[in-house]
Structure 1
Amino acid sequence: MASSSMSSSRTSESSWTSRQNKLFEEALARYDEATPDRWQKVAEAVGDKSTEEVKRHYELLIKDINRIESGRVP
């Protein structure tokens, strides 16, 4: 079951281009957690993604980081 959820995560992740990921990372650095309307600003910086899409992308990023830090990903 976990592998099917990983597959669906990876499928949705593949819809982000390397350019969009770079813009996303730059926007996260620019707009910290205290920024009003942070996700709207991040979405605007990325361009072709909605506020919900950037929030979901961030959640997946945090999950990946947690898996790496816990040693579950080599």
Structure 2
Amino acid sequence: MSTTNSSSTWSREENKQFEKALAKYDKDTVDRWHNVAKLVGGKSVEEVKRHFDILMEDLRRIDSDQV
């Protein structure tokens, strides 16, 4: 991410926890984003949603050969 706000910066460990949380809590999980944020730790629900949206956009760009 380009922002320097510490709450918006994701460490390698936070990204690893984020990936584990996405595997554990799929799109049909009740309170998915709350659970993901709790597992990652130190991130709000809004931050994990935004991180997911950025990840999905990156994947769309890769799939469409824009990267």
Q: Distance in 2 between matches of 1:43 and 1:12?
A: 19
SS of equivalent to 1:12: coil
The answer to whether residue 58 in structure 2 is matched with residue 64 in structure 1 is yes
Distance 2:3 2:64 in 1: 24
Amino acid at match of 1:21: N
Tell me the TM-score normalised to structure 2 length.
Answer: 0.90
Q: What TM-score do the two structures reach when normalised by structure 1?
A: 0.82
- Superposition RMSD on alpha carbons, in Å? 1.5
Distance in structure 1 (CA, Å) of the matches to 2:9 and 2:46: 14
Gaps of 5+ in 2: none
More helix by share: 1
**Runs (4+) off by over 6 Å:** none
Larger Rg: 1
Count of aligned pairs between the two proteins: 64
